[in-house]
Structure 1
């Protein structure tokens, strides 16, 4: 049976996984990555990406017969960019996905008509195109724009490679026409020769060269497949592949990604869409709420014990809006938003439950907003992320949504890249459990929570009304 290699090149580590077509994991490898952070600055050394990727891949392949390896794909952080020379050597440090030294004013003035057509309306300062302009101030002649995945794919193949549409989104690629909007780049003074070709995720970029084979353990000649961003990779690993299905990733913060046949346009710009390998669309958004509020508000507490104690009690009467940091991004745009609690929790168990309930309410409000935009939300909802370790939270989320939710055995981005390399998920994605709602009525506290968000001026009145109407159906 063929073995597919998925690689997740993240922020804190690089992880490689060797997976068979029936979902057996034959080997894994992981290596840490280091960052340089200073205020708005967040940089990494691209050479470290390659060294640690090679080591992690070698570990994953230790017990895999070389003749069984059929392909490899790499995902990377969205919006990370650097400059390299024609030989693929880094000319700058990599500006990571959350580096905020750039300004988006020029790119929005020059490309606003394109961003509007693509449904997200405007770029943020941490997107790749503003950062590319920042890098170009001191760029030597012949410099090339390179995304994180492009850098390592070039090392794997030994020649220049195209970038994928997913990683190119935040660099301004026109996802409808599947090409760079040349008028925008000319207006910005970006030399067209520095931009890579673009292809859909899943496209063959080349094969592993002899030098890369010696360093990584990947057999020479192994097909190298164009990957995606880490968020899209996680969605693939979760198996949210059909229109109407959604992957809700709840960890430090909440991220929703789904599948639609048509491009979704969001007047608030909080939802934006990637392009899927088959040409469909992958809309999504990222909230600033999540489990990060637990470690902040309940420091040192055993969360597993709190979860067991909360499950033994009645549903919480208090609800907390669990912002991890100031400002909200989805399902509404409110830079000044701050966390709050409705009601008075009596102890840490109730404080814990109130945070979980608020995160579940935001998740439901996200689906209400997506429904308002016309996105299909009636398919499978797959929960992934660290929050799924809590059976109590899984059940609470099913009850708040009023729908069954699916849990996977393994839904990490590296698995998603193995799925993409294979071209067909087959039996690679395995279900751990389906959690059915108990029928608990949480309508009143949900509407009270929604009313408060609107009263504070953060939630748009139209979105609030739609949430109420959808709840009453």
Structure 2
């Protein structure tokens, strides 16, 4: 039996999966991702320790490989990865610093200066990406100003998936979708943008060569084989941005497909046949970048989703086990009680407008509101936020007739029903849950020659989906609540701009 291995390097966990050539999972292994605050005096500085990233990847790979039959053959391995977070490597490929996490706020001043000096519209219309406080460009500027001695010794600035690949096979490269996370890459030209680099004062020579996802990088070395359990000589293939890998097993590579990927971020992803940057999309939070599918592009709008429910669980249900919280979420999603209004902007608003000063809030709380009603309000707020983002997709000419939902939230039928009701669209959920790792495995299969192309990989490795139709009562209820949601957002704007709470936006750690 031949297997493909997919790695999923995410904010909440690092996972590995072994899949046969028909997409059936043989083994999934998972460990929590580890982020730390090195200096308590600077709580805004958060990193992923590079040793922990590699050690955790090794652990999940070992667990998966050891569970396979003794005569199993590993056809290839590829990694899907969260965006933006990178590490500087010296000429010996030794890390000189830890990964600055996307939850880290140290680079916000550089982001704000870039908005003033370069501008959001110019950035989007050049690269398809709006500036964000955690974009790679601002990490490089921060390192240049605060640790020039490190940057002087740096040969390459490497994103997390590319770091793991280098440890596996000794080769350095990145794919187009990950390069687009940096603000320094032009998807239309499939090349690094020298003009932006010059304006930012960063050296493009620090960036890895950019290649299409699915490109064969090299083979697992003897040293990596000893640490991971992967057979020496296993092909290592370029994966890509995690949300795009997660869209592959449900046919999300086809133009017109719209996928809702639920994780720490709640993402609406649509596949485009052409690279198009309409001016109407400026300021909406939409990003247009290369897809991991050859010749395709991706538009996505995103906001914190699972990060908000994790915050709620940690704050209002500490110590509750997974089964109990699943039951609470099911009850909350089905609640028909009179609810407070919840604004889910705990990390600012990232769609359908970009507003870093926006903040989360419960409005209209009563003594009758307990934990269940508050969680129901959280789900409603997340649903309405997604509805607003999806509606803004009209600026890209997108009017979906259905939604494909994957990720952690798709495992709860109550949440799926409430999402269908909020959007007024049928929602299809695949039978497989580990779509990100499976999408990486599909790219591994293409790069290793197991599949001729993406269409063949999708035909072989996709599964049946279950459809949830919106209900009339549910759609009416969300229609009624949408105006309250919008009114609350507008009403709190002057409060947020005056710096209520801690005086500014705070990133959620998950």
Superposition TM-score, scaled by structure 2 size: 0.80
Structure 2 residue 341 is the aligned partner of structure 1 residue 320: yes
1:361 is displaced (CA, Å) by 2.0
Say which of 234, 238, 241 aligns to 1:229.
241
Structure 2 residue 182 is the aligned partner of structure 1 residue 178: no
Partner of 1:434: 467
Partner of 1:422: 445
Mind listing any 5+ residue stretches in structure 1 that lack a counterpart? 459-473
Q: Which shifted more, 170-179 or 388-397? A: 388-397
Partner of 1:286: 302
> Residues 293 and 355 of structure 1 are in contact (CA less than 8 Å); yes or no, is this contact kept in structure 2?
no
Q: Which shifted more, 435-444 or 82-91? A: 435-444
> Residues 66 and 219 of structure 1 are in contact (CA less than 8 Å); yes or no, is this contact kept in structure 2?
no
1:53 is displaced (CA, Å) by 1.7
Return the alpha-carbon distance in structure 1 between the equivalents of residues 413 and 12 of structure 2: 27
1:153 is displaced (CA, Å) by 1.1
1:49-60 to structure 2, matched below 5 A, reads 49-60=53-64
Partner of 1:104: 111
1:387 is displaced (CA, Å) by 2.8
Return the alpha-carbon distance in structure 1 between the equivalents of residues 91 and 245 of structure 2: 28
Superimposed CA distance per residue, residues 415-461 of structure 1 (whole angstroms, 9 cap, x where no aligned partner): 22112212322342324521122332336414423541574386xxx
Return the alpha-carbon distance in structure 2 between the equivalents of residues 9 and 309 of structure 1: 31
1:200 is displaced (CA, Å) by 1.8
Q: 1:241 to 1:453 in 2, by over 3 A?
A: farther
Q: 1:11 to 1:26 in 2, by over 3 A?
A: same
- SS of residue in 1 equivalent to 2:186: coil
1:376 is displaced (CA, Å) by 2.2
Q: 1:445 to 1:47 in 2, by over 3 A?
A: same
Q: Which shifted more, 244-253 or 165-174? A: 244-253
- SS of residue in 1 equivalent to 2:467: strand
1:30-429 to structure 2, matched below 5 A, reads 30-37=30-37, 38-62=42-66, 63-64=68-69, 68-102=73-107, 103-104=110-111, 109=117, 113-120=122-129, 122-136=130-144, 137-138=148-149, 139-141=151-153, 143-159=155-171, 161-171=172-182, 172-251=184-263, 254-262=266-274, 263-265=276-278, 266-276=281-291, 277-288=293-304, 290-292=308-310, 294-295=312-313, 298-299=316-317, 302-306=324-328, 309=331, 315-318=336-339, 320-323=341-344, 325=346, 327-334=348-355, 335-341=357-363, 346-348=368-370, 349-371=372-394, 373-408=395-430, 409-423=432-446, 424-429=457-462
> Residues 343 and 489 of structure 2 are in contact (CA less than 8 Å); yes or no, is this contact kept in structure 1?
no
Q: Which shifted more, 246-255 or 268-277? A: 246-255
Superposition TM-score, scaled by structure 1 size: 0.85
- SS of residue in 1 equivalent to 2:79: strand
> Residues 407 and 433 of structure 2 are in contact (CA less than 8 Å); yes or no, is this contact kept in structure 1?
no
Q: 1:294 to 1:221 in 2, by over 3 A?
A: same
Superimposed CA distance per residue, residues 269-304 of structure 1 (whole angstroms, 9 cap, x where no aligned partner): 511123113222211122245534643675368555
Q: How many residues align?
A: 455
Return the alpha-carbon distance in structure 2 between the equivalents of residues 320 and 291 of structure 1: 15
- SS of residue in 1 equivalent to 2:358: coil
- SS of residue in 2 equivalent to 1:39: coil
Query: What is the alpha-carbon root mean square deviation over aligned residues?
Result: 3.0
Return the alpha-carbon distance in structure 2 between the equivalents of residues 52 and 367 of structure 1: 35
Return the alpha-carbon distance in structure 2 between the equivalents of residues 14 and 311 of structure 1: 28
Mind listing any 5+ residue stretches in structure 2 that lack a counterpart? 447-456, 494-510
1:385 is displaced (CA, Å) by 3.2
